[in-house]
Every structure is written in structure tokens, then in C-alpha cells.
């Protein structure tokens, strides 16, 4: 069987292809970085909300225990 010869590309065409590939890679990596950053901000906000909820719950428990002790 005869093998097909690969097309020979001039060096400039190869550079253009590599540059386009790098540009797409840069776009994709920036997208991933933005996505990770948004996820981290969401996690931090959730932790902050959890912290405030835990404080409120702790305060409610303390008040309830104090009322029970005073009876």
C-alpha cells in the first residue's frame, strides 16, 4: 500500500498555526481561570454566610439555655 505524503507547509504557515493554537489556548486558560476565580468567590461568600448563620444559631442556643436555667 502506498502511503500518502503529508503536505509540506512553509515555516511561516507553521508559525501561524502555532500562534493560532497558542491564542486559543490562552483564551481557554483565561476562561478556566475566570471560572475558578468565580467558584472561589462563591465558596468564600457561602462560608461567610455559614459563619453568620452559625453565630445566629449559637446566640439562639445561648439565649434558650439561659431561659431554661432561669426557670
**Per residue in 4-57, pLDDT tens?**
655 555 566 566 667 777 788 888 888 888 888 898 899 988 888 898 889 888
pLDDT of residue 32: 87
Report the distance separating Cα 22 and Cα 30, nearest Å.
12
C-alpha neighbours within 13 Å on the C-beta side of residue 50: 6
Distance of CA 62 to the CA centre of its chain: 38
Report the distance separating Cα 25 and Cα 30, nearest Å.
8
pTM of this prediction? 0.54
Amino acid at each position: 500500500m502506498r502511503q500518502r505524503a503529508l503536505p509540506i507547509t512553509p515555516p511561516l504557515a507553521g508559525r501561524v498555526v502555532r500562534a493560532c493554537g497558542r491564542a486559543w489556548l490562552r483564551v481557554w486558560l483565561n476562561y478556566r481561570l475566570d471560572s475558578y476565580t468565580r467558584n472561589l468567590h462563591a465558596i468564600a461568600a457561602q462560608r461567610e454566610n455559614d459563619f453568620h448563620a452559625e453565630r445566629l444559631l449559637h446566640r439562639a442556643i445561648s439565649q434558650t439555655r439561659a431561659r431554661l436555667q432561669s426557670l
